[in-house]
């Protein structure tokens, strides 16, 4: 057993969700990723003297949506605080955030790792604003500042230290991304940093009851980097402890090029920030009725749909996860399943034909031309052996995309795709084939039974896929035995 196996990793996440609101958190400036630098910067974003913030009601609603989805308590009266610090991309010299009285408290996110479900407790969710962007690599002598992002509304979701591996962190972030997309509160895009996290990592001997000293790795916006950062940090901390040292509570930066973490600053304490209630904003007051309204308008959530798909529709977890990836196609599937009793066949069609089609065409399910009743009719043709599965997938489905309003049965007739159970048609084909291959017939009759595969292949080819394989094989075997 290596020394590393004696330790357990403990991780708590502070996840930042950039909200898809129309305007910034405290003023009317637009939010636009990739906009020309410093083009969405009113006097408020620039913190000119005498300007005042006002709350964005969409930010409050989005926070409550996420809180309800995670089963948090909603604080009907909550408030904003000032977090003071100096940095060039923070024009006000403070960030408006929530410290003492955040909007949501408690709750949990259910994740699934290797088929096992685990509940990660949420400590709280608070609202805040983002800072601007400092760019250090454009000019050798100067740092550049882009303040477009300054004042963008964020939610910070703080988890309890319930995660134990980088796989669980990956599952947490992926599940969170799916959730915020279902709730339509964020695009959840990690590459554009709409979703990013700070990872608090510590190690302790397995079986220990106290947590070890932690370090916080800042601003990870790719799951690959987060995994690497945690692996590196775990090893670093264990090596330090095993050689008689102690972990210092630092804030760390992860460098993807070297794969190493390095101290950014020693851990600051709350009092360093001189938090105090934001004097320019009134407390946020929400009514029970508002919360009720938001609750009633929530979409079906991925974990509820997961239960339905696996328990009621009896689909595998693997298929379910593919079907649930995107909300609108998941809801299309729910509608499809209401139109056909063949749930597994519907899942197959969705996974093997419809989703790949949407992917290739870069279309959303809303642009998909075939309605669920038509697809149900197509599935019925397959299930009743009127059209073979491969003909349905390779010929009828593409044709239906072009003519989505014609009944699949009619289309199959027009294109001559109906499978033939017609005895005369099959017997004629079999006669032809047996006459063409007298040697093989003899070989078969002497015991080379494997040749049935050869005859079947030829038969399917000659019938252009229209022979019903079950029926054809029965007739073929009977003729060969004679």
Q: How many other C-beta atoms are found inside a 10 Å radius of the C-beta of residue 396?
A: 21
Q: How far is the CB of 59 from ligand ADP (least distance, A)?
A: 21
Interhelix angle 438-445/423-436, rounded to 10 degrees, is 100
Residues 11-30 that bind ligand ADP (CB under 6 A): 11-14
Q: Answer yes or no: are the C-beta atoms of 134 and 88 closer than 8 Å.
A: yes
Per the listing, tokens 């005859």 go with 455
* Nearer CB in complex with ligand ADP: 90/215: 215
CA distance linking residue 292 with residue 65, whole number of Å: 11
* Nearer CB in complex with ligand ADP: 99/130: 99
Q: Binding residues for ligand ADP, how many (CB under 6 A)?
A: 15
Q: Please say whether the dihedral angle defined by the alpha carbons of residues 269, 271, 273 and 278, taken in this order, is positive or negative.
A: positive
Q: How far is the CB of 334 from ligand ADP (least distance, A)?
A: 35
Q: How far is the CB of 8 from ligand ADP (least distance, A)?
A: 11
Q: How far is the CB of 64 from ligand ADP (least distance, A)?
A: 21
Query: Helices marked H in 95-200 — which ranges?
Result: 166-182
Nearest Cα to 334, choosing from 364, 369, 297, 299?
299
Which part of the chain contacts ligand ADP (CB under 6 A), choosing from 157-165, 300-308, 409-417, 474-482? 157-165
Q: Please say whether the dihedral angle defined by the alpha carbons of residues 217, 218, 222 and 223, taken in this order, is positive or negative.
A: positive
| Token couple for 141 | 């002598």
Nearest Cα to 27, choosing from 144, 148, 125?
148
Residues 188-217 that bind ligand ADP (CB under 6 A): 200-202, 211-212, 214
Q: Select from 148, 159, 329, 468 the one that contacts ligand ADP (CB under 6 A).
A: 159
CA distance linking residue 89 with residue 46, whole number of Å: 10
* Nearer CB in complex with ligand ADP: 13/31: 13
Cβ burial 284-293 (10 Å sphere, 16+ → b, else e): bebeeebbee
Q: How far is the CB of 153 from ligand ADP (least distance, A)?
A: 21
Which part of the chain contacts ligand ADP (CB under 6 A), choosing from 75-83, 152-160, 229-237, 414-422? 152-160
Q: Answer yes or no: are the C-beta atoms of 346 and 386 closer than 8 Å.
A: no
Q: Answer yes or no: are the C-beta atoms of 63 and 103 closer than 8 Å.
A: yes
Cβ burial 24-35 (10 Å sphere, 16+ → b, else e): bbbbebebeeee
Which part of the chain contacts ligand ADP (CB under 6 A), choosing from 4-12, 88-96, 282-290, 454-462? 4-12
| Token couple for 304 | 């509820």
* Nearer CB in complex with ligand ADP: 211/393: 211
96 binds ligand ADP (CB under 6 A): no
Residues 109-148 that bind ligand ADP (CB under 6 A): none
Q: Select from 7, 10, 324, 463 the one that contacts ligand ADP (CB under 6 A).
A: 10
Residue nearest to ligand ADP (CB): 12
160 binds ligand ADP (CB under 6 A): yes
Q: Select from 161, 299, 404, 469 the one that contacts ligand ADP (CB under 6 A).
A: 161
Which part of the chain contacts ligand ADP (CB under 6 A), choosing from 86-94, 155-163, 334-342, 403-411? 155-163
Which part of the chain contacts ligand ADP (CB under 6 A), choosing from 7-15, 127-135, 345-353, 364-372? 7-15
Using DSSP, state whether 212 is helix, strand or coil. Answer: coil
* Nearer CB in complex with ligand ADP: 71/161: 161
* Nearer CB in complex with ligand ADP: 211/454: 211
* Nearer CB in complex with ligand ADP: 83/149: 83
Q: Answer yes or no: are the C-beta atoms of 36 and 180 closer than 8 Å.
A: no
98 binds ligand ADP (CB under 6 A): no
Q: How far is the CB of 251 from ligand ADP (least distance, A)?
A: 10
| Token couple for 249 | 């509570």
Write the binding mask 428 to 457 for ligand ADP: x where contact by CB under 6 A, - elsewhere: ------------------------------
H/E segment holding residue 376:
helix 372-383
H/E segment holding residue 228:
helix 223-242
Q: How far is the CB of 126 from ligand ADP (least distance, A)?
A: 11
Judged by the rule CB under 6 A, the positions of this chain that interact with ligand ADP are 10-14, 158-161, 200-202, 211-212, 214
């Amino acid at each position: 057993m290596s020394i590393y196996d004696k330790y357990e990793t403990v991780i708590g996440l502070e996840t930042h969700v950039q909200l898809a609101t129309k305007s910034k958190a405290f003023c009317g400036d637009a939010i636009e990723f990739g906009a020309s630098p410093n083009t969405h910067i009113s006097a408020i974003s620039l913190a000119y003297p005498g300007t005042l913030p006002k709350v964005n009601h969409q930010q409050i609603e989005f926070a409550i949506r996420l809180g309800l989805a995670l089963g948090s308590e909603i604080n009907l009266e909550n408030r904003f605080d000032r977090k003071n610090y100096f940095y060039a991309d923070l024009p006000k010299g403070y960030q408006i955030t929530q410290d003492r009285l955040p909007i949501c408290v408690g709750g949990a996110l259910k994740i699934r790792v290797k088929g096992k479900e685990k509940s990660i407790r949420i400590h709280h969710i608070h609202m805040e604003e983002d800072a601007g962007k400092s760019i250090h690599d454009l000019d050798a002598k100067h740092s550049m500042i882009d303040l477009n992002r300054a004042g963008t509304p964020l939610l910070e979701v703080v988890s309890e230290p319930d995660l134990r591996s980088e796989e669980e962190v990956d599952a947490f972030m992926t599940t969170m991304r799916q959730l915020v997309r279902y709730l339509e509160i964020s695009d959840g895009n990690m590459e554009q940093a709409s979703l990013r996290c700070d990872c608090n990592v510590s190690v302790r001997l397995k079986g220990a009851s106290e947590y070890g000293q932690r370090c916080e790795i800042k601003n990870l916006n790719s799951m690959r980097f987060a995994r690497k950062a945690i692996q590196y940090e775990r090893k670093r901390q264990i090596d330090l402890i095993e050689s008689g040292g102690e972990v210092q509570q630092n804030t760390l930066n992860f460098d993807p090029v070297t794969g190493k973490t390095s101290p950014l600053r020693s851990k600051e304490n709350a009092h360093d920030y001189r938090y105090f209630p934001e004097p320019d904003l009134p407390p946020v007051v929400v009514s029970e009725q508002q919360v009720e309204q938001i609750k009633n308008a929530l979409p079906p959530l991925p974990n509820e749909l997961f239960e339905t798909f696996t328990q009621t529709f009896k689909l595998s977890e693997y298929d379910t996860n593919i079907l649930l990836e995107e909300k609108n196609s998941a809801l299309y599937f729910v509608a499809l399943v209401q139109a056909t009793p063949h749930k597994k066949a519907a899942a197959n069609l969705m996974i093997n034909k419809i989703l790949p089609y949407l992917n290739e065409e870069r279309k959303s399910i809303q642009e998909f031309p075939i309605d669920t009743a038509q697809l149900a009719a197509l599935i019925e043709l397959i299930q009743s052996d009127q059209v073979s599965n491969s003909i349905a997938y390779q010929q009828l489905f593409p044709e239906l995309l072009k003519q989505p309003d014609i009944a699949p049965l009619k289309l199959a007739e027009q294109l001559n795709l109906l499978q033939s159970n017609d005895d005369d048609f099959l017997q004629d084909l079999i006669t032809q084939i047996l006459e063409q291959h007298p040697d093989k017939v003899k070989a078969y009759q002497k015991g080379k039974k494997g040749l049935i595969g050869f005859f079947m292949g030829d038969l399917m080819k000659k019938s252009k896929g229209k022979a019903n394989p079950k029926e054809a094989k029965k007739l073929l075997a009977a003729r060969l035995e004679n």
